[in-house]
């Protein structure tokens, strides 16, 4: 059996180029993210300040993505993505130079987290809206799944590589490596022959067009139900950068190596889930999507009182499997249900919910852990997630 038969999206040449170059860029991303999280934790020794770092990174998605989604609908998505990759490189270089100069402070790290999040507010909705243009709707589920696989394989490699390299390189060197890793994907976007015509400008006011996008999402129960579920899972489950270092250090007593192992286990489970999903060109029902979301909360509760490394890593692997199973089908369902003329705005709304909820989730999760303790705090977070998903599913699970 040909690999393109097993994974339909890889039959598209432009997608193959994108997917291969993403490997390098994503390894650089995980190098920087792991290094930055560990740097802040060592500087502050505070769960709340670590959560505040994540909040600063995701706040721009809350502030800007509704507007950027409209802007994306009216501009060439490939060129937008070339611009965001250039800005990612600039951010990494400036952060590396800051640390090289020896003037790094917690305040500066918050600033660069906000800068990174501002770029994300343009890049993420543009990249998701670009996927149907790149592969077509027939291979969209496969492409979303392969993107998740790519992301999570590098989530395994990146943190482990960061933990290894930090024994020999400085923090600034890691950030410079991330800047270099973005060069191939920038050239890949430049060479792609994908230039789908954009929506023509209208006389409508921008706020009116944004409201039209929100109204389109609100009246479609598939889109709206999945948006709510995405916000719940993102804010309470996917903040592993907030609770991962704390669990590794305070519960498993394994420090940086333990944090890397947690990310490795979660990435391994995510990788398996992504590969499984990528072999299919279809997505599942709303009931299935909500079940996967609820399972995430249950697994977080289960891991919260495990004090031994191997069982804990196994549970984190299952958590990674469940989250990707949810995310792939949630994302695909939203894109399949979205009219093309609203896709940028709805993907902007998805980013607004998915990333914009993260600052509140990071602060809430870190505050609960700080007040209740790591194990009890995570159990409470998992239970809260299950309750919210059940309430959402009660309204939307009947939709196919």
pLDDT given at position 280: 65
Listed residue (121, 257, 99, 260) closest to 175, CA to CA: 99
How far does Cα 383 stand from its chain's mean position? 22
Please give the average per-residue pLDDT across 4-11, as a whole number.
75
**pLDDT higher than 70, residue 3:** no
- Total residues belonging to the chain: 400
DSSP state of 166: T
**What mean pLDDT comes out for the span 117-136?**
87
349 or 355, higher pLDDT: 349
CA atoms within 13 A on the CB side of 36: 30
The domains of the chain are located at 3-396
pLDDT of 55 strictly over 60: yes
* Torsion sign across C-alpha atoms 150, 385, 35, 167: negative
Give the per-residue pLDDT at 290.
Answer: 93
pLDDT at 5: 64
Overall average pLDDT of the 217-227 stretch? 88
Average pLDDT over residues 106-118: 92
| Angle formed by the axes of helices 374-396 and 286-304, nearest 10° | 170
Confidence check: pLDDT of 91 > 80: yes
**pLDDT of 201 strictly over 90:** no
Q: What pLDDT is recorded for position 383?
A: 96
Percent of the chain with pLDDT over 90: 29
How far apart are alpha carbons 362 and 359 in whole angstroms?
Answer: 5
Confidence (pTM): 0.73
Question: With the C-alpha atoms ordered 369, 374, 377, 382, is the resulting torsion angle positive or negative?
Answer: positive
- Distance (Å, rounded) from C-alpha 174 to C-alpha 31? 7
Write down the CATH superfamily of domain 3-396: MFS general substrate transporter like domains (1.20.1250.20)
pLDDT at 86: 95
φ/ψ bin of 59: left (φ > 0), alpha (ψ from -120 to 50), beta (otherwise): alpha
Query: Using CA atoms, how far apart are residues 56 and 356, in angstroms rounded to an integer?
Result: 10
- Banded model confidence at residue 202, pLDDT cuts 50, 70, 90: low
Report pLDDT for 281.
Answer: 60
**pLDDT interval class at 84 (50, 70, 90):** very high
- How far is residue 155's CA from residue 31's CA, in Å, rounded to a whole number? 9
Mean pLDDT across 314-330: 91
Q: Which of 126-140, 153-167, 194-208, 269-283 has the highest mean pLDDT?
A: 126-140
Q: How far is the C-alpha of 84 from the C-alpha of 201, rounded, in Å?
A: 23
Taking the C-alpha atoms of residue 21 and residue 235, their distance in angstroms, rounded to an integer, is: 29
Query: What is residue 282's predicted lDDT score, i.e. its pLDDT?
Result: 61
DSSP 249: I
Q: For residues 84 and 78, give the distance between their C-alpha atoms in angstroms, rounded to a whole number.
A: 10
pLDDT of 400 above 50: no
317 compared with 202, residue with greater pLDDT? 317
pLDDT mean over 130-138: 82
- Which ranges of the chain does DSSP label H, i.e. alpha helix? 3-6, 13-44, 47-73, 77-101, 106-135, 140-165, 171-181, 183-191, 206-219, 221-236, 240-246, 255-278, 286-304, 309-337, 343-354, 358-372, 374-396
């Amino acid at each position: 059996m040909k690999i393109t038969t097993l994974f339909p999206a890889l039959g598209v040449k432009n997608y193959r180029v994108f997917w291969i170059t993403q490997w390098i860029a994503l390894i650089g991303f995980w190098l920087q993210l792991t290094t930055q999280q560990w740097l802040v934790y060592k500087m502050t020794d505070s769960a709340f300040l670590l959560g505040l770092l994540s909040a600063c990174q995701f706040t721009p998605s809350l502030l800007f993505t509704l507007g950027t989604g409209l802007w994306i609908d009216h501009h060439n998505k490939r060129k937008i993505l070339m611009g965001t990759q250039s800005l990612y490189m600039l951010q990494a270089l400036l952060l590396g130079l800051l640390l090289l100069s020896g003037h790094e402070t917690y305040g500066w790290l918050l600033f660069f987290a906000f800068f990174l999040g501002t770029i994300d507010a343009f890049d993420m909705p543009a990249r998701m809206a670009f996927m149907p243009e790149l592969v077509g709707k027939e291979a969209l589920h496969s492409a979303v799944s392969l993107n998740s696989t790519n992301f999570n394989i590098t989530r395994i490699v990146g943190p482990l590589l960061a933990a290894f390299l930090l024994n020999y390189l400085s923090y600034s060197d890691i950030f410079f490596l991330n800047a270099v890793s973005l060069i191939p994907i920038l050239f890949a976007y430049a060479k792609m022959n994908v230039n789908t015509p954009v929506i023509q400008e209208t006389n409508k006011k921008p706020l009116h067009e944004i409201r039209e996008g929100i109204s389109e999402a609100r009246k479609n129960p598939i889109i709206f139900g999945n948006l709510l579920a995405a916000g719940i899972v993102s804010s309470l489950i996917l903040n592993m950068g907030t609770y991962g270092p704390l669990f590794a250090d305070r519960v498993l007593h394994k420090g940086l190596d333990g944090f890397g192992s947690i990310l490795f286990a979660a990435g391994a489970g995510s990788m398996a889930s992504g590969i499984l999903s990528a072999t299919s060109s279809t997505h599942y029902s709303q009931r299935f999507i909500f079940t996967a979301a609820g399972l995430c909360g249950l697994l977080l509760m289960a891991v919260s009182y495990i004090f031994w490394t191997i069982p804990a890593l196994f549970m984190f692997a299952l958590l990674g499997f469940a989250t990707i199973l949810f995310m792939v089908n949630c994302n695909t369902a939203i894109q399949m249900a979205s009219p093309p003329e609203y896709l940028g705005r709805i993907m902007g709304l998805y980013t607004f919910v998915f990333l914009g909820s993260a600052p509140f989730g990071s602060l809430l999760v870190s505050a609960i852990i700080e007040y209740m303790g790591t194990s009890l705090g995570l159990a409470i977070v998992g239970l809260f997630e299950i309750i919210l998903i059940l309430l959402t599913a009660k309204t939307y699970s009947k939709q196919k």
